Amino acid sequence: MTTKTEQQLFVGSPVTSHAFNGALDKLVVSDNSTTVYVYAKDANGKWTKETELQKHIERVKCVDWAPKTNRIATCAGDRNAYVWNLNETTGVWEPSLVLLRIERAATYIRWSPAEDRFAVGSGARLLSVCFYENEHDWWVSKHIKKPIRSTILCVDWHPSNYILAIGSCDFKCRVFSSALKETNDKPETSGWMPKLSKFATMLAEFSTQGWVHSVKFSPSGDKLAWVAHDASINIVHMNNHDTVIRSLTPSLPLLTVIWASEDSVICGGHDNFPSLFNIVGGESVSKGIRLDVKGKKAGGGMSAMARFKALDRTGDDTKDASLDTTHQNSIIELRVKKSDSAGKCSQFSSIGMDGKIVDWNLDALASSIADLKI
């Protein structure tokens, strides 16, 4: 089994956001421009460009694909979001505008688990939860504003569809109720929501020292993990909001986190490689296990031409300028591709500022890295 498959999607631009369709044979990505690209897997397993979705007039910040209903949602700095529906007969993705009613750029977008609504975070210090209004045939939004005091960087939905977590630049991670009267929601009480709360009620608030870059609920929804710019990983259980398991890592700040199982997380960030962290005894987090195994460079030698060129330019003919990690720049986003019913992840993907997309096989990694236990 190969542990990882990498592909250079873009040269000279980062892959800022990505999402897969339900069958994992199509990919939607943005390259920090106004265009959104849909790629399809060809016969060799390589991603090849299929179509371009061009509607935004400012750079696209985030994309998401709803696997069951097959819809793409995109949001951009032009303060708009579009929901793209695939026209089965023509094969064309048709956009429909979402009225976000925000005065600043939209920064993050995520479909809910039931795919009947999605959340859009923005620089306007508020979150728009958008749902479809049948009478008018458009998407309308309701805002969650208080007490968020700065740009929202990340959002994650709880599996119940009625609770969401928001990480923002005001150094806080918060959990809100998103149960809407308009869609006849019937939420149940849980550890996060002990009393039935209406839309926009804040259920929990946690502080960190840095911007909260990424937040994720565990597969069951009982735990919440977030990574912040103070190079920390924070995990909390819904039944005990006062005990936040904080791991002050010795690495550079992490930018993205996903759950590999109910008790372990995989994070990636400015160190350019994904690491696995296990929750030990429900109280602490283990040291990160680097999942990007340093491979020995085959051959190692440079051609004679390359040596003289390097000698002429830099006065040194021995150095190879590339880093020993797969990603040559920060990892921007991780996505779980395949996981079993218990939430144990077997395959995940990463995109980076170097324009690469890497597909990681956790089962293969588990056998190749000696002390890797998930």
Partner 1 sequence: MSKNVNSTQFRTVDVDAYDEDNYEDEAKETGDSGAAEVTERANQVRGLLNQLKTKEALKMALQNPPVGNKDASVKEQNYETVVSVLKSFKAADIDGAVADLDMVEVDILMKYLYKGFTCSPDKAASLLQWHEKVVAKGGLGSIVRVMVDRKGI
| String marking each residue 136-165 x if it binds partner 1 according to CB under 8 A | -------------xx---------------
β-strands 232-237, 26-30: how paired? unpaired
- Are the C-beta atoms of 37 and 60 separated by less than 8 Å? no
Task: Return the structure tokens found at 58.
Answer: 């400012």
What are residue 233's DSSP bridge partners?
227, 247
State the Cα–Cα distance between residues 25 and 36, nearest whole angstrom: 17
Q: Is 186 exposed, middle or buried (0-12, 13-18, 19+ CB in 10 A)?
A: exposed
Q: Among 5, 209, 240, 243, which residue interacts with partner 1 (rule: CB under 8 A)?
A: 209
State the Cα–Cα distance between residues 285 and 264, nearest whole angstrom: 9
For residue 249, state whether it binds partner 1 (rule: CB under 8 A).
Answer: yes
Cα–Cα separations (whole angstroms), residue 110 to 62, 237, 259, 265, 363: 9, 23, 17, 20, 27
Euclidean distance between the first and the last CA atom of the chain, given in angstroms as a whole number:
18
Q: Among 6, 116, 230, 363, which residue interacts with partner 1 (rule: CB under 8 A)?
A: 230
Q: Kindly tell me which of 159 and 210 has the beta carbon lying closer to partner 1.
A: 210
For residue 123, state whether it binds partner 1 (rule: CB under 8 A).
Answer: no
Q: Of the listed pieces 13-21, 107-115, 226-234, 290-298, which binds partner 1 according to CB under 8 A?
A: 226-234
For residue 79, state whether it binds partner 1 (rule: CB under 8 A).
Answer: no
Q: Of the listed pieces 87-95, 106-114, 229-237, 272-280, which binds partner 1 according to CB under 8 A?
A: 229-237
For residue 248, state whether it binds partner 1 (rule: CB under 8 A).
Answer: yes
For residue 170, state whether it binds partner 1 (rule: CB under 8 A).
Answer: yes
Q: Of the listed pieces 50-58, 77-85, 245-253, 336-344, which binds partner 1 according to CB under 8 A?
A: 245-253
Q: Kindly tell me which of 103 and 320 has the beta carbon lying closer to partner 1.
A: 103
- 3-class SS of residue 192: coil
Q: Kindly tell me which of 107 and 232 has the beta carbon lying closer to partner 1.
A: 232
State the Cα–Cα distance between residues 91 and 300, nearest whole angstrom: 47
To which H or E segment does residue 309 belong?
Answer: helix 304-314
DSSP assignment string, 39-85: EEE-TTS-EEEEEEEE--SS-EEEEEEETTTTEEEEEETTS-EEEEE
For residue 204, state whether it binds partner 1 (rule: CB under 8 A).
Answer: no
For residue 336, state whether it binds partner 1 (rule: CB under 8 A).
Answer: no
Tracing tokens 């791991």 back to the chain, one arrives at: 247
Q: How many residues interact with partner 1 (rule CB under 8 A)?
A: 16
Q: Kindly tell me which of 200 and 231 has the beta carbon lying closer to partner 1.
A: 231
For residue 229, state whether it binds partner 1 (rule: CB under 8 A).
Answer: yes
Handedness of CA 275, 281, 283, 284 (dihedral sign): negative
For residue 210, state whether it binds partner 1 (rule: CB under 8 A).
Answer: yes
Q: Of the listed pieces 31-39, 227-235, 313-321, 346-354, which binds partner 1 according to CB under 8 A?
A: 227-235
Q: Smallest distance from the beta carbon of 143 to partner 1, in angstroms?
A: 15
Q: Kindly tell me which of 157 and 277 has the beta carbon lying closer to partner 1.
A: 277
For residue 252, state whether it binds partner 1 (rule: CB under 8 A).
Answer: yes
Q: Smallest distance from the beta carbon of 271 to partner 1, in angstroms?
A: 8
Nearby residues of 84 by Cβ (< 8 Å), 6 or more positions away: 53, 71, 72, 73, 74, 93, 94, 95, 96
Q: Among 19, 154, 231, 267, which residue interacts with partner 1 (rule: CB under 8 A)?
A: 231
Q: Closest Cα to residue 102, out of 134, 69, 133, 148?
A: 148
What is the contact surface with partner 1 in residues (CB under 8 A)? 125, 149-150, 170, 209-210, 229-232, 248-253
